[in-house]
């Protein structure tokens, strides 16, 4: 935990709600709520035996993906993580393709070959989740370089965790992006745990935003549970990137609402701190900023319906054909 | 036809492909202003500018990963890793990312990148700058592995590798850069996955690639004087492996020796030998032999270095043993 509690920080924050148009607020809420429900449903499906392998819920962190992805354009890119459902949904990913992929079905985004940790959606320029912590950071940096080579004006957001920030490619990529002035936003989701190891035990300096400075990348620290704050910070960073002013590091402080994955009860987490963070639920914070409860309800009903349909679709979808799979293996 | 050096042939392929396709770009250490340690990228920066010819920081994992990302974003990146020994630094990006993306994404995300590097002993560069590590990549589904031996092949295979939609590990050899050969002036390609009979023969087949092709040809010339007709099959591409060409030659001569510089244990020779025995056992006159590097790090001292790598005498001796 940082010395400053997120609520104190939020109180100090002056960013006015009125700066964000209502349609953006509603869109963010749509994504955040969809992510919350998606994770809860997937955990149920996991426990019922419909999902195998690893499932890393994004519960408690929804505001980061919702705020960040709402602040960029559909043709901008994102690079995601093993805890990536929220990123995929917030970039506009198709719930049917997602549930089907997590259930390993032929109709999934990756034809059942990737699963939860590898969802990739070309249709929304989501360059994929990744099973290797930190590996997406140089990939995103390179996507930004690709944009430059093609003389495009898109930006790239790469989501990664505090755990990934201890991997060598984090520092290398910050330097690389600064050296080549690349349009990439490093979105460090500080959820305070690398699996079970707390930030205080794995960093000599727990101020993670400041790690950009040494590389020439401006770093800011924000409340990751406040989607509006994430949206504002990302908008500014995206403007900078689009104007050729280079990369930004954003440390968004947040907290997992549970263990590392669906089967991890997270007993190592300090329950009092967890309760404190849960009291600042990102969905509640965002909901309070929306004037019309009716519109919130409409969104929730729509998402609930779409999610039910997606689960139904996935459950009725065929398993991938083994013959087709084997026939597709090249004889190298 | 014109005669050019191996490094010049590679350089020409890079120029032509970068002119043809604006999304082709290249990055690596000291490849721009300096033109690369072996001059393969010489002059590129002058024509294509620093936006397409990038001198990168010394961060192999990141610039290899950047190539993966740039490829996913619709470009055709080429990265140069100065020595194959240094490919151990970006191994995650090669093995877990580049090789896997197309598969994991169900075909949505292709990675048309070329990783150029060079390996091999012979220059007194000792244990960390002289290795032959192709078997590491050969073992990874999703990668293509190319190891040309001549200027002609270097040019034609580089063009194919750049145009291919999958990641290719393109391993040059430090002793080949200054070797010369005929290369047609008109553009052409050498398809990936096609071996080449560098010398026809009827008594015994030497299966080889990269620098050892030259040693095999020398050995074949010596043996020819003894009345032994040696066929030299240069694989050119290790993956895809040209099984058909291998089996055809094995069936023709009935005697096969695989020759490579990389150490024998876990080397490609073992895999090729096993494949031949599985597919063409009845056509063989005896077991497939291997003439390979010794199972040791490469020493600095010249005489010590020499004994680690197969030489012409080793190849001749192996042939005489079975003919």
Q: What is the mean pLDDT of residues B155-161?
A: 98
Q: Which domain holds residue A44?
A: 20-314
Residue A6 lies in a domain: no
pLDDT value of residue B203: 98
Domain B196-322 in the same topology as domain B2-183: yes
The pLDDT of residue A331 is: 82
Of B59, B63, B69, which is closest to A143 when you measure between CB atoms?
B69
The CA distances from residue A163 to A2, A64, A252, in Å, are 16, 17, 13
Out of A111, A130, A142, closest to residue B67 by CB: A142
pLDDT tens, residue by residue, B103-144:
999 999 999 999 999 999 999 999 999 999 999 999 999 999
pLDDT confidence of residue B1: 78
Helix (H, G, I), strand (E, B) or coil at B31: coil
* Cα distances (angstroms) measured from residue A134 to each of A79, A122, A168: 11, 21, 8
pLDDT of res. B216? 98
Please indicate, yes or no, if residue A330 is contained in any of the structural domains: no
- B293 contacts: CB under 8 Å, gap ≥ 6: B121, B132, B260, B261, B262, B263, B264, B267, B308, B309, B310
Compute the CA torsion angle B216, B217, B223, B228 (nearest 10 deg). 90
Percentage of chain B surpassing pLDDT 70? 100
Question: Under an 8 A CB cutoff, do A176 and B59 touch?
Answer: yes
Report pLDDT for A17.
44
CB contact under 8 A, A331 and B240: yes
The pair of three-digit structure tokens given for residue B142, joined into one six-digit string = 């999703």
Q: Which whole number is the average pLDDT over B252-262?
A: 98
**Which residues on neighbouring strands pair with residue A219, listed in sequence order?**
A249
CA distance A70 to B238: 46
What distance in Å separates the CA atoms of residue B24 and residue B75, rounded to the nearest whole number?
Answer: 6
* Interchain pair A142, B144: CB under 8 A: no
Q: Does residue A8 belong to any structural domain of this protein?
A: no
Indicate the residue of A131, A146, A179 with minimum beta-carbon distance to B74. A146
Is A7 part of a structural domain of the chain? no
| CB contact (8 A) between residue B65 and residue A330 | no
Side-by-side strand order, sheet with B230-234: B196-199, B230-234, B204-208, B256-263, B289-293
CATH, residue A246: 3.40.50.970
If one counts the domains in chain A, the total is 1
And the tokens for B68?
Answer: 């993966």
Return the pLDDT at A332. 79
Q: Is residue A181 part of a domain?
A: yes
Q: How far are the Cα atoms of A208, A308, B228 from residue A276, in angstroms, in the given order?
A: 21, 32, 84
Give the pLDDT confidence score for residue A12 in this predicted structure: 46
Residue A125 belongs to a domain? yes
The verdict on whether B60 is a catalytic residue reads yes
Q: What is the pLDDT of residue B161?
A: 98
Q: Do A122 and B70 touch (CB under 8 A)?
A: no
Nearest chain A alpha carbon to B106: A110
Q: Are A31 and A88 in contact (CB under 8 A)?
A: no
Q: Does the structural domain B196-322 have CATH classification 3.40.50.920?
A: yes
- What is B2-183's CATH number, 3.40.50.360, 3.40.50.150, 3.40.50.970, 3.90.1180.10? 3.40.50.970
Please list the rounded mean pLDDT of every run of 10 residues in chain A (332 residues). Answer: 49 55 97 98 97 97 98 98 98 98 98 97 98 97 98 98 97 98 98 95 96 97 98 98 98 97 94 97 97 96 98 98 94 80
Map out the domains of chain B as residue ranges: 2-183, 196-322
The answer to whether residue A327 sits within a structural domain is no
Backbone angles phi, psi at B240, to 5 degrees: -65, 140
ipTM, 2 decimals?
0.93
Which listed residue (B8, B17, B29, B60) is catalytic? B60
Q: Quick one: three-class SS letters along B120-189?
A: CCCCCCCCCCCCCCHHHHHCCCCCEEECCCCHHHHHHHHHHHHHCCCCEEEEEECCCCCCEEEECCCCCC
From the list A182, A139, A134, A135, the residue with the least C-alpha distance to A161 is: A134
Residue B200: what pLDDT? 98
For chains A and B, what is the number of CB pairs under 8 angstroms? 150
Q: B260 has which bridge partners?
A: B292
Determine how many CB atoms are found less than 10 A away from the CB of residue B181.
18
Rounded CA-CA distance B82/B37 in Å is 8
Q: Does residue B226 carry a catalytic annotation?
A: no
- CA dist B230 and B222 (Å) reads 10
Q: Average pLDDT, stretch B32-36? A: 94
Of A249, A266, A248, the closest CA to residue A257 belongs to A266
**pLDDT for A6:** 53
């Amino acid at each position: 935990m940082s010395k400053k509690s997120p609520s104190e920080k939020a109180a100090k924050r002056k960013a006015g709600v009125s700066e964000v148009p209502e349609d953006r607020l509603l869109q963010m809420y749509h994504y955040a709520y969809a992510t919350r429900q998606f994770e809860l449903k997937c955990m149920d499906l996991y426990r019922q035996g419909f999902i195998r392998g690893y499932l890393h819920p994004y519960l408690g962190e929804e505001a980061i993906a919702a705020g960040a992805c709402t602040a960029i354009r559909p043709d901008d890119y994102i690079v995601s993580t093993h805890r990536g459902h929220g990123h995929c949904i917030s970039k506009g990913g198709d719930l049917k393709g997602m549930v089907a992929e997590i259930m390993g079905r032929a109709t999934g985004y990756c034809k059942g070959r990737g699963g939860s940790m590898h969802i990739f959606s070309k249709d929304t320029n989501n360059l994929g989740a990744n099973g290797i912590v930190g590996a997406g950071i140089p990939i995103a940096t390179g996507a930004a370089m690709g944009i430059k080579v093609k003389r495009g004006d898109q930006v790239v957001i790469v989501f990664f965790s505090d755990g990934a920030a201890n991997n060598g490619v984090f520092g290398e990529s910050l330097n690389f992006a600064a050296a080549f002035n690349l349009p990439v936003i490093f979105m460090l989701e500080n959820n305070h745990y690398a699996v079970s190891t707390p930030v205080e035990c794995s960093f000599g300096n727990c101020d993670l935003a400041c790690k950009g400075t040494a590389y020439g990348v401006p770093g800011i620290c924000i409340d990751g549970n406040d989607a509006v704050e994430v949206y504002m910070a990302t908008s500014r960073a995206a403007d900078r990137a689009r104007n050729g002013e280079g990369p930004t590091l954003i440390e968004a402080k947040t907290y997992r609402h549970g263990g590392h994955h669906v089967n991890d009860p997270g007993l190592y987490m300090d329950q009092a701190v967890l309760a404190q963070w849960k009291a600042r639920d990102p969905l509640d914070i965002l909901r309070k900023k929306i004037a019309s409860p009716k519109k919130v309800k409409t969104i929730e009903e729509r998402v609930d319906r779409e999610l039910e349909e997606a689960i139904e679709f996935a459950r009725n979808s065929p398993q991938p054909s083994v013959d087709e799979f084997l026939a597709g293996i090249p004889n190298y | 036809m014109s005669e050019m050096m191996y490094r010049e042939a590679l350089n020409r392929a890079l120029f032509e492909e970068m002119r043809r396709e604006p999304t082709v770009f290249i990055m690596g250490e000291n490849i721009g202003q300096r033109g690369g340690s072996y001059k393969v990228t010489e002059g590129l920066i002058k024509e294509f500018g620093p936006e397409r010819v990038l001198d990168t920081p010394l961060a192999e994992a990141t610039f290899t990963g950047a190539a993966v990302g740039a490829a996913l974003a619709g470009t055709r990146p080429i990265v140069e890793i100065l020595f194959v020994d240094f490919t151990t630094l970006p191994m995650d990006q090669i093995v877990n990312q580049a090789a896997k993306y197309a598969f994991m994404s169900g075909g949505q995300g292709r990675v048309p990148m070329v990783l150029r590097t060079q390996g091999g002993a012979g220059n007194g560069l000792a244990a960390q700058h002289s290795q032959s590590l192709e078997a590491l990549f050969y073992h990874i589904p999703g990668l293509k592995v190319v190891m040309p031996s001549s200027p002609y092949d270097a040019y034609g295979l580089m063009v194919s590798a750049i145009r291919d939609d999958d990641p290719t590990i393109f391993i040059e050899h430090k002793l080949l850069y200054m070797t010369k050969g005929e290369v047609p002036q008109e553009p052409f390609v050498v398809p990936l996955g096609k071996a080449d009979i560098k010398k026809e023969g009827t008594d015994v087949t030497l299966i080889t690639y990269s620098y050892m092709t030259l040693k095999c040809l020398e050995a074949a010339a010596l043996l020819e004087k003894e009345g032994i007709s040696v066929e030299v099959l240069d694989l050119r591409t290790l993956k895809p492996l040209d099984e058909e060409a291998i089996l055809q030659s094995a069936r023709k001569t009935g005697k096969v020796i695989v020759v490579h510089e990389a150490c024998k244990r876990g080397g490609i020779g073992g895999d090729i030998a096993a494949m031949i025995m599985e597919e063409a056992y009845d056509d063989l006159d005896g077991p497939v032999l291997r003439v390979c590097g010794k199972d040791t790090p490469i020493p600095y001292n010249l005489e010590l270095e020499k004994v680690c790598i197969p030489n012409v005498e080793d190849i001749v001796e192996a042939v005489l043993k079975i003919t």
